[in-house]
Amino acid sequence: MTIAVGDKLPDVKLVKVTEGGPEQVQSSDYFAGKKVALFAVPGAFTPTCSARHLPGYVEKADELKSKGVDEIVATSVNDAFVMGAWNKASGSDDITMLADGNADFAEALGLSADFSGFGMGKRSQRFSMIVEDGVVRELNVEAPGDFSVSSAEHLLGQL
């Protein structure tokens, strides 16, 4: 079943990219007590994700924060080292990278996808959400191949 507006995020382990190396976090603890703009991509360094998705959130970070967002989080079914390299190459300190290396988070959300046809295996669908104190307040899931409702611009319009 796919997560819906009003649902609490599932409680799974993610790996936060930090200067000191990967740090395991529990999603229930991590999202507690704050307002988060969360976006997910099928893969770091993939064309749309690197050319449009991450750069949009980097560009709109100040605007998102001015609308009450405490943190901007990106997640993908990649390991923490790939997520860290992607943020160094294309991101900013305004974006927190949470690696979902085994797709546990994507699956628990009901938002995993099979990219085996592209040699990428199990991945996350492209989506964005506003999460307040661990509860989904807005949810935007892209149709396969699309990029519009998960953009920073769309999320800004929902705040």
* Residue 107 falls in the annotated catalytic set: no
CA atoms of 58 and 81, how far apart (whole Å): 19
Q: Are 78 and 54 in contact (CB under 8 A)?
A: no
Q: Name, in order, each residue with C-beta under 8 angstroms of 50's C-beta and a sequence gap of 6 or more.
A: 44, 86, 89, 90
Residue of 40, 49, 141, 155 with catalytic role:
49
CA atoms of 64 and 116, how far apart (whole Å): 34
Kindly list the catalytic residues: 49
